[in-house]
Amino acid sequence: MERVDFTMKVAIVVCVLLCTTCQVSLALIDGLLPNGNFEYGPKPSDMNGTEVLRHNAIPEWEISGFVEYIKAGQKQGDMLLVVPEGAFAVRLGNEAYITQKVRVTKGMYYSITFSAARTCAQEEWLNVSVAPDSGVLPMQTLYSSNGWDSYAWAFQADFDVIDIVIHNPGVEEDPACGPLIDSIAFRSLYPPRATNKNILKNGGFEEGPYVFPNTSWGVLIPPNIEDDHSPLPGWMVESLKAVKYIDSGHFSVPQGKRAVELVAGKESAIAQVTRTIPGKTYDLFFAVGDASNSCEGSMIVEAFAGKDTIKVPYESKGKGGYKRAVLRFVAASTRTRIMFLSTFYTMRSDDFSSLCGPVVDDVKLLSVRKPRRLV
C-alpha cells in the first residue's frame, strides 16, 4: 500500500513538473501573450460601468490607475470605438498601466508588438518598459485610416521572469481619455551576422518584430530606435517619424517575406553602421518598389554610403513591383554609415489620409574585387 502511495506521489510530482515545463515552453512561443487580446474580461462585480475596479480583475494581467474595459462598437460621445482584433480592448487613463509577468530566456533579445489607438487627445504617448529598459513611443501621427496602428519595441532580457509594462504617462483634463490597447504579442529575436555574401546585417529584413496575421496595416518601428535594442535587428531608425515593417502576406515585397516601407518622407529613415576598409571599393545593392497598397505617384529613395549618395526614382501605380539599384563607393573610414530615406511624402490614393511610401528591400553590401592583371 505504501509502495502504491509512493508511486502515486512520484507520478503527481512528474505531472506537476511536466505542466511547469509546458507553461515555460508556451511562454516562449512567438505570438500573443496569454489573454494578449483581452478577450477574457473582468467579472461584472469587478466593473463600474467600463472602469475595472480590481488590480487583477483582467485574467493574466495586473492594472494600476484608471483602466477601462472597452467593447467593440461602444460609443464615446459621437465617436464609435473600434477594436482591431476580437471584441474587446483596454483603455489607459492618466498615469494608468497594465503589466504581465512572462518567463523568458535570460540574455535573449525579444520584441513586443501591440496595437494602439488614440481616443481623445491629438498628442499622446505610451511608455513601454521591461526593467531596466524603457522607451517612449509617440502616437501623434496616425499611419492607418482605421484609427489603429501596431507598434514594436525591443529589449534584452536581464532576468528569467520579466514584467512587461505599458503605461500612459499623459495627463488629460478628462481622466477617462487615453489610448486603447489591444493584441499584445512578442517574438524572439536572433541578431543576424555579416557574412561573405553580405557585409550588412539583416539586409533582407527577414528578422524583425511579430506581425499580426489578422491585421493588414503592418508594424511601425518607432523613431529614434538604436541598433542595440532594435526590433529590426542590425538597423536603426534615425528619424523623427516611424518606418513601417511589412510582410508578404498583406503587401507586395520585392524579396523574401519582409521589407521596410518608408512612410514619412525624409522624416522616415533607416540606417546601419558597418565595418569597411579605407580605400576599398564597395557596391551597395538594393531594391526599391511599392507595397501594392494604393500608394501611387512619383517616388524617390535616397541611399547614402558615408558621403556618397544616389537618388533612385520609382513611378508607382500602387499595385506592386520594384526595380534594383546599386551605389558604388570608396570607403573613407573603418566604419561607414548606410542610410535610406524617402524624398517625398505620399498618401494612399484609396483614402487620402494614410501616409505611405516606397519599399526598400534586399539590401546587400559587397566589396569589389579588382580584376587580375594578365601577365
Lowest model confidence (mean pLDDT) among 74-78, 130-134, 349-353: 74-78
pLDDT band of residue 121 (cuts 50, 70, 90) is low
- The Cα angle at residue 124 between residues 264 and 145, in degrees rounded to 5: 50
Q: How confident is the model at residue 35 (pLDDT cuts 50, 70, 90)?
A: very high
For the cut 60, the answer to whether the pLDDT of residue 20 exceeds it is no
What amino acid occupies position 111?
Answer: S
- pLDDT mean over 162-176: 84
Average pLDDT rounded to a whole number, residues 140-162: 89
Question: Is pLDDT of 16 > 70?
Answer: no
Residue 160: alpha-carbon gap to chain centroid: 23
Q: Is the peptide bond before 34 cis (omega within 30 degrees of 0)?
A: no
In the predicted model, what is the mean pLDDT of residues 297-324? 96
Greater confidence (355 vs 81) lies with: 355
pLDDT value at 14 more than 70:
no
- Which of 88-92, 121-125, 226-230 shows the lowest per-residue confidence on average (mean pLDDT)? 121-125
Kindly indicate the confidence band of residue 230, based on its pLDDT and cuts at 50, 70 and 90: very high
How far apart are alpha carbons 20 and 167 in whole angstroms? 30
Which is more confident, 340 or 179? Answer: 340
For 193, list phi and psi in degrees, rounded to 5: -120, 160
Confidence (pLDDT) at 175: 67
pLDDT of amino acid 239: 87
- Bigger pLDDT: 118 vs 35: 35
Q: Are the C-beta atoms of 339 and 268 separated by less than 8 Å?
A: no
- Residue 326 bridge partners (DSSP): 285
pLDDT, one tens digit per residue, over 48-63 is 999 999 999 999 999 9
Would you report the helix, strand and coil content of the chain in percent, each value rounded to 5?
10, 45, 45
Average pLDDT of the chain to the nearest whole number? 88
Give the E-state strand segments of 31-160 in sequence order: 31-32, 47-48, 51-52, 62-64, 67-71, 75-76, 79-80, 88-92, 97-103, 109-117, 125-130, 133-138, 149-156
Amino acid at 36: G
Tens digits of residue pLDDT in 254-269:
999 999 999 999 999 9
Q: Is the Cβ–Cβ distance between 112 and 212 less than 8 Å?
A: no
Backbone torsions φ then ψ of 6, nearest 5 degrees: -65, -40
Q: Is the pLDDT higher at 228 or at 367?
A: 367
pLDDT, residue 27, reads 46
Q: What is the pLDDT of residue 371?
A: 61
- Checking if the pLDDT of 248 tops 80, the result is yes
Q: pLDDT digits over 201-217, tens only? A: 999 999 999 999 988 89
Is a pLDDT exceeding 90 seen at residue 172?
Answer: no
Which pLDDT belongs to residue 122? 63
Q: How far apart are CA 357 and CA 300, in angstroms?
A: 9
Which residue, chain included where needed, has cell 498628442? 123
373 band by pLDDT with thresholds 50, 70 and 90: low
- At residue 351, the pLDDT reads 79
